[in-house]
């Protein structure tokens, strides 16, 4: 019988993996890799159990692009690095639980992505407020 939920140990492992992102340095190469693969990342999310995160992932991409263009710097580097690394993790087919495994392959992606969304809810809200204010100025 295939399991369709992460065990507490697997959830903890995914959270620990996510938390390790904040200790990584900002990398223009990783930023560019995420932006270059936006279409594939969005397709993977849209066509899977990860689709419940679609709105937040779209916001993450707008945040990364605005940060990259020096338009939006009201975000800690550790936050932007964590978002970039989360999206790279989701993009990678080989991770804690390989994506090609039926039913369970995306569970770790969901755990890491869910942790990122929960951790940066305030940053998402601030960015969306900044976007709204910027569009009113135009």
Residues of the domain holding 66 = 8-137
Q: Report yes or no on 1 lying in a domain.
A: no
Q: Report yes or no on 2 lying in a domain.
A: no
> Where does the pLDDT of residue 1 fall: very low under 50, low under 70, confident under 90, or very high at 90 and above?
very low
- The tokens describing 5, both together, are 């939920």
Residue 119: C-alpha distances to residues 3, 70, 90, 112, 115 (Å): 27, 23, 16, 10, 6
Q: What is the number of domains present in the chain?
A: 1
For residues 107 and 97, the model is more confident at: 107
Q: Indicate whether 75 pLDDT > 70.
A: yes
Q: Indicate whether 105 pLDDT > 80.
A: no
Q: Indicate whether 80 pLDDT > 50.
A: yes
Percent of the chain clearing pLDDT 90 (strictly above): 56
Q: Indicate whether 19 pLDDT > 90.
A: no
């Amino acid at each position: 019988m295939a399991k369709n939920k992460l065990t507490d140990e697997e959830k903890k492992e995914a959270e620990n993996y996510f938390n390790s992102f904040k200790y990584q340095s900002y990398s223009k190469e990783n930023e560019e890799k995420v932006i270059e693969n936006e279409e594939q990342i969005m397709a993977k999310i849209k066509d899977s159990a990860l689709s419940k995160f679609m709105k937040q992932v779209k916001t993450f991409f707008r945040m990364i692009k605005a940060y990259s263009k020096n338009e939006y710097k009201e975000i800690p580097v550790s936050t932007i690095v964590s978002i970039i690394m989360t999206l790279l993790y989701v993009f990678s087919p080989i991770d804690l639980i390989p994506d090609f495994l039926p039913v369970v392959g995306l569970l770790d992606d969901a755990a890491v992505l869910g942790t990122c969304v929960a951790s940066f809810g305030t940053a998402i809200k601030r960015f969306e407020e900044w976007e709204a204010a910027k569009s009113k100025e135009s």
